[in-house]
Chains A and B, each alone.
Chain A
């Protein structure tokens, strides 16, 4: 099974049997859109909230770099691969407070602003967030399978399940049972809404 690395500011989509992976998200946010039934996954590596800040040419706007432009593009790419918009679910990972540089006291840092901007963009389009592992002050690696499984790993830790494929696919959620003891789903551990 192939693994596609989505690097800083990039965006990729896949269908069938594949994995999209982003290594070492810090303040950046990995935004995945999933259609479990069609086995379509799309992943963006968002760096900043707002494309209005971009200094280069608009035509050269990096696909995944800004939250407000990356989210609609994810929907478009997933739809091109056959995903149904009403079935799309989002998973958010990252948005940590790493180096809180050049930040006036009380102002949210870039990680928090990224998460808020991604949520806004999803709300505008009407895509629900199925699971998330955001905030804190540590890096994360995320692996998104086209079947809808999302796994997260932190530095020095083991991979943990953040989201299992939706039960609507007609199969029992397979991976939860295969996890080693003491490695519960991240979303469940943190009390985050793992809707399915």
Chain B
């Protein structure tokens, strides 16, 4: 398997990009909910596809995922994964009855849209690449089916998957979810070059 190795400096730079992107997303969610939203330190991993799917949690568990692909120079995608209780709690913070599956899904899709767009806009602005988020798609299904399909539709499927993930949690609520940038090696090289840390100098 051709899983690339990044230097510590390159990993730090990617994590920092994610940190800034997630920071923007946190602010956006905080404003929407009127709550403080905390952000974990992002982790960067370069993985084989099978390991990438496994790293994101139990394969058969039913979760809701929102995917925002980017179009333009950067062919990455943002993936937000909410397990069922967290999706319900997040929806109820917006006044949706957690028993109303359809409205909850719709609220999660909207939250995903706001967060994903904030994240990608920040990333694109810092990296100075020409890319914009496409409309989000929200689905509820087995976790592995959602994650593997998002990976299969991304350039990551052609070599290895680079996952940059962080956890967002709403202060004072038992509510958190995972925020992942799915990218292939070419896209990560593009980001690294943009911040002056490309392999080719």
Task: Give the interface of A toward B (CB within 8 A).
Answer: 7-10, 23-28, 47-48, 53-57, 60, 62, 65, 96, 98-102, 109-111, 137-141, 155-156
Which residues from chain B sit less than 8 Å from chain A, CB to CB? 1-2, 48-50, 52-54, 59-60, 62, 67, 69, 71, 75, 77, 134, 137, 139-154, 157-160, 184-186
Measured in the bound complex, the distance between the Cα atoms of B137 and A27 in whole Å is 15
* Contact, CB under 8 Å: A53 / B158: yes
Given A25-B148, A27-B149, is A56 in contact with B62 using a C-beta cutoff of 8 Å? no
| B71 adjacent to A102 (CB under 8 Å) | yes
30 A-B pairs (CB sep. < 8 Å): A8-B53, A8-B151, A9-B49, A24-B59, A25-B144, A25-B148, A26-B142, A27-B152, A27-B153, A47-B148, A47-B151, A47-B152, A47-B157, A54-B159, A56-B1, A56-B159, A57-B2, A62-B48, A65-B157, A98-B145, A98-B153, A99-B149, A99-B153, A101-B150, A101-B153, A109-B153, A138-B141, A138-B145, A139-B141, A155-B145
| Across-interface contacts of A53 in B (CB, < 8 A) | 158
Chain A residue with the shortest CB-CB distance to B159: A55
**A-B interface, 7 closest residue pairs, ranked by CB to CB distance from nearest:** A139-B145, A24-B144, A26-B149, A98-B149, A56-B2, A7-B50, A26-B145
- Which residues of A are found within 8 Å of B144, using beta-carbon distances? 8, 23-26, 139
| Contact indicator B157/A155 (Cβ below 8 Å) | no
Cα-based distance from A27 to B1 in the complex (angstroms): 22
Query: Is there an interface contact between B139 and A24, defined as CB atoms closer than 8 Å?
Result: no
Closest to B140 in A: A155
A102 adjacent to B69 (CB under 8 Å): yes
Once the chains are docked, how many angstroms separate the CA of A156 from the CA of B141?
9
A91 to B2, CA, bound (A): 30
Evaluate contact between A26 and B148: CB separation under 8 angstroms.
yes
Q: Choose from A23, A47, A57, A100 the contact partner of B49 (Cβ within 8 Å).
A: A47
Compute how far the CA of A101 lies from the CA of B66 in the bound complex, rounded to whole angstroms.
12
Given the complex of chains A and B, what is the CA–CA distance between A185 and B143 in angstroms?
25
Q: Are A98 and B139 in contact (CB under 8 A)?
A: yes
Contact yes or no, B158 A54, CB < 8 A: yes
Nearest Cβ distance between residue B188 and chain A, in whole angstroms?
A: 13
Chain A neighbourhood of B77, CB < 8 A = 101
State whether B54 touches A7 (Cβ < 8 A). yes
The answer for the CA separation of A109 and B160 in the assembled complex, in Å, is: 21
A54, chain B: closest CB distance, angstroms: 6
Q: Report how far A109 CA is from B158 CA in the complex, Å.
A: 16
Nearest Cβ on chain B to A170's Cβ, whole angstroms: 35
